[in-house]
């Protein structure tokens, strides 16, 4: 690679990373401020939040198919533009349909970055520095989430206090039990959320600006010398290929029952809104710390055992969260610590979750197989959203559904890990030690 090309690649990867930091902030807002806003302003949309995650993921999977035709730059710009439009619509338009469309647009916008990251950074990095480029992008994106989670709730309380004309501490105390708010107070609480969401239009604009300066040429996304390869669906006759998709579906479905609703459930436990944001922030810090330890865990125990073991290790902490009320006055410490370790253990497994399935197929089939995994995960989120909206969180069907969701997720995780360990341990646990790069399963 000549020096000019290397310079352009480094420049483009840096511009993407800067933009990805700001979209990390938007991700944090989606899973914190947006969820609690919808819980008050549009409960039906909030109850189906996982479905919108799935729809957004599915939309992102379709949108990235445009890359060979129009390039990375135009495709990735859709993300922040959609976010800007959605945030403005929430503030200046009314109606449940607006809430639904805006939620979908926001989640599609942030998910698009996750979908495009692997091919984009692979195109704009050399094999020698690829890991460094990927790590930097992911690490800084998580920092963006931390910033959003830490500031989101506190900004809401500040705006709520300002609208009420009272102190921050008094307004914060009111958010511990939103059901007790008067109609006037609830209206102002919703308006405070809108204020904060409008502030973050600026963040979406900042995410868009670096993308305008990407230096792209057609050769970055189209190889005219090679014939278009077709995806061979017969690879799913391979048990490793098929069962990992099943494993991913189970994990995604289980996670979608609890992860989008952390802020809502903690609020139902009686934890103040500002404190909830602090606890959610801590889980993002856990993601960074535990992911740094992931290579050591894989080297020590093997990748399959690490993936399954880390998942199992998170289960006791999920059950602590579910039973938070049992800790009485110590609820904040107990639930906060449990949230920290649950998030840490599950996210420490993410690098293996992304890399392991790429060993099951030959090199030319990896992008298409990864797309199948991506779409399957989206469908799992959609199914989870339907389940939570119509069954799990419907008090007419299940009482205390937010608590019971943790038990269901624990059972699903256990089932998924059993499948993983039985099927993959023997062949793939330490395959990275003698794996041949282009060998297919």
For residue range 380-436, list pLDDT tens digits in order: 888 888 888 888 888 888 878 888 999 999 999 999 999 999 999 988 888 756 544
Which pTM was predicted?
Answer: 0.70
**Residue listed under structure tokens 């059993």:** 418
Residue 302 confidence (pLDDT): 86
- pLDDT tens-digit profile, the chain (441 residues): 678 888 998 999 999 999 999 999 999 888 888 888 888 888 888 888 878 888 888 888 888 778 778 888 999 999 999 999 999 998 888 888 899 999 999 999 999 998 888 778 777 877 556 556 777 787 788 888 888 877 888 899 999 999 999 998 888 888 878 788 888 988 999 999 999 999 999 999 999 999 999 998 887 776 555 555 555 667 777 888 889 999 999 999 999 898 888 888 888 888 887 788 788 778 878 888 887 787 788 788 988 998 999 999 999 999 999 998 899 889 999 999 999 999 999 988 777 787 777 678 765 566 667 778 888 888 888 888 888 888 888 888 887 888 899 999 999 999 999 999 999 998 888 875 654 444 444
pLDDT of 251: 94
Residue-range domains of the chain with CATH:
1-220 (1.20.1250.20), 234-441 (1.20.1250.20)
How many residues in total does the chain contain? Answer: 441
State the Cα angle at 380 between 51 and 277, rounded to 5°.
55
- Whole-number pLDDT of residue 232: 63
d(CA 39, CA 47): 8
């Amino acid at each position: 690679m000549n020096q000019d090309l290397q310079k352009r690649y480094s420049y483009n990867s840096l511009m993407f990373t800067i933009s990805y930091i700001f979209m990390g902030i938007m991700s944090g807002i989606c899973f914190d401020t947006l969820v609690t806003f919808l819980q008050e302003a549009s409960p039906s949309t909030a109850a189906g939040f996982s479905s919108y995650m799935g729809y957004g993921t599915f939309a992102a999977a379709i949108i990235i198919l445009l890359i060979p035709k129009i390039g990375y730059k135009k495709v990735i710009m859709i993300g922040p533009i959609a976010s800007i439009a959605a945030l403005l619509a929430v503030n200046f338009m009314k109606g449940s349909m607006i809430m639904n469309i805006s939620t979908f647009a926001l989640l599609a916008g942030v998910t698009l970055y996750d979908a495009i990251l692997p091919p984009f950074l692979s195109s704009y990095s050399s094999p020698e520095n690829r890991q460094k480029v990927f790590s930097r992008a992911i690490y800084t994106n998580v920092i963006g989430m931390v910033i959003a989670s830490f500031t989101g709730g506190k900004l809401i309380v500040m705006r709520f206090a300002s609208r009420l004309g009272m102190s921050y501490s008094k307004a914060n105390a009111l958010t511990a039990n939103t059901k007790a708010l008067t109609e006037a107070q609830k209206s102002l609480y919703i308006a405070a959320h809108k204020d904060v969401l409008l502030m973050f239009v600026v963040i979406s604009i900042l995410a868009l600006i670096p993308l305008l300066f990407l230096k792209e040429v057609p050769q970055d996304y189209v190889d005219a010398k090679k014939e278009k390869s077709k995806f061979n669906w017969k690879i799913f006759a391979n048990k490793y290929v098929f069962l990992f998709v099943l494993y991913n579906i189970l994990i995604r479905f289980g996670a979608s029952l609890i992860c989008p609703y952390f802020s809502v459930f903690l609020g139902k436990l009686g934890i103040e809104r500002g404190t909830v944001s602090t606890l959610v922030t801590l889980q993002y810090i856990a993601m960074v710390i535990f992911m740094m330890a992931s290579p050591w865990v894989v080297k020590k125990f093997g990748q399959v055992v690490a993936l399954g073991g880390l998942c199992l290790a998170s289960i006791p902490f999920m059950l602590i969260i579910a039973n938070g009320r049992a800790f009485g006055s110590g609820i904040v410490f107990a639930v906060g610590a449990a949230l920290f370790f649950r998030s840490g253990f599950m996210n420490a497994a993410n690098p293996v979750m992304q890399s392991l399935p790429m060993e099951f197929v030959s090199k030319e089939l990896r992008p298409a197989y990864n797309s199948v995994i991506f779409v399957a995960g989206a469908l799992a989120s959609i199914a989870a959203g339907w389940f939570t909206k119509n069954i799990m969180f419907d008090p007419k069907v299940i009482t205390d559904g937010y608590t019971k969701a943790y038990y269901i997720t624990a059972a699903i995780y256990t089932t998924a890990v059993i499948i993983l360990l039985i099927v993959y341990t023997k062949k793939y646990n330490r395959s990275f030690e003698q794996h041949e790069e282009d060998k297919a399963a």
